[in-house]
Amino acid sequence: ATAALPSMAAAVALAAAATVATATGQARSTQSAQAIAAVAALCAAEEGGDEEAAALYKQAYSIEKEASGLRAPNLALYLQMLSVVYHRQGKFEAASLTLEEAASVLEAVRGPSHASVAAVRQVIAKLQTSAAPTLDVA
């Protein structure tokens, strides 16, 4: 399965590039960010792919933030996925801080009483009370 993954990542990247090529403006940037995040997920699934996945999630976040501003729901998703990568790497403080930022984005987009905000806050609390907690943000 590991040998097939790079070709799968390449196929996803090519399909995403074709989709992005037909879009314009903000939609193009948002689709670019989504395509990068899809490739990041594939990298994260591959043994030893966490460093590349983290870099790609950060890139997707930056593109989406520039295109859509701080109130884009996908920002929270990219941050949550980045926190999962950090957690797997044993970077628990980075995972917690990244989730705090995701919670802030969700609060701005959906309001402080939304269930998604509460769910992220629960994960943050688990991170802060355990040295190596199970992280489930997806």
**Alpha-carbon 58 to chain mean position:** 8
Q: Are 119 and 106 in contact (CB under 8 A)?
A: no
**Domain that residue 125 falls in:** 4-129
Asked if residue 134 is part of any domain, the answer here is no
Task: Give the CATH number, domain containing residue 64.
Answer: 1.25.40.10
The number of folded domains in the chain is 1
Residue 49 lies in a domain: yes
Return d(Cα 91, Cα 63) in angstroms, integer.
24
* pLDDT value, residue 1: 42
- Is 82:51 a contact under the CB 8 Å cutoff? no
Q: In this structure, is residue 61 part of a structural domain?
A: yes
The pLDDT mean for the chain works out to: 78
Q: Summarize pLDDT for 28-79 with one digit per residue, the tens.
A: 567 778 777 777 777 777 788 888 888 888 988 988 898 888 888 889 989 9
Read off the pLDDT of residues 65-95 as tens digits, 9 standing for 90 and up.
988 888 888 899 899 999 999 998 999 899 9
Q: Is residue 64 part of a domain?
A: yes
